[in-house]
Amino acid sequence: MPLYPYRCTACGHGFEKIQSFNAPSLKKCPKCGGALERPLTAPGLQFKGSGFYVNDYASGSSKSSAASSEKKSESKAETACSGGCASCPMAASNSTS
């Protein structure tokens, strides 16, 4: 159940009350009987687990390693050419020999 803060508009008395979501909000101050308001507060938020920072904002080293692995795969593709296509420079060198 959530914890709701209340503040009296007449005397300024502030307190918190644990209430269910369906419970009606309090209307009268317990000290003076004045009207109550529920001020806005920041929600309590806590991240647990491995964390989004580590996963979403990784260091630049992992990005550079991904780029270098792409370059390696491109160079492997160039050397693995069998020269079967007409537009390939490897095809021209294979057909003359």
> Domain segments of the chain: what residues?
3-37
pTM of the model: 0.45
Residue of 16, 66, 65, 20 whose CA lies nearest to 38: 16
As a whole number of angstroms, the distance between CA 12 and CA 8 comes to 5
Model pLDDT for residues 47-96, shown as the tens digit of each residue: 776 666 655 665 655 554 455 555 555 555 455 566 667 666 666 555 55
Model pLDDT for residues 20-57, shown as the tens digit of each residue: 989 999 999 999 999 999 998 888 777 776 666 655 66
What is the residue type of 33?
G
> Do 88 and 81 touch, CB atoms closer than 8 A?
yes
How many residues are recorded in the chain? 97
User: What's residue 68's pLDDT?
Assistant: 52
Rg (CA), the chain: 34
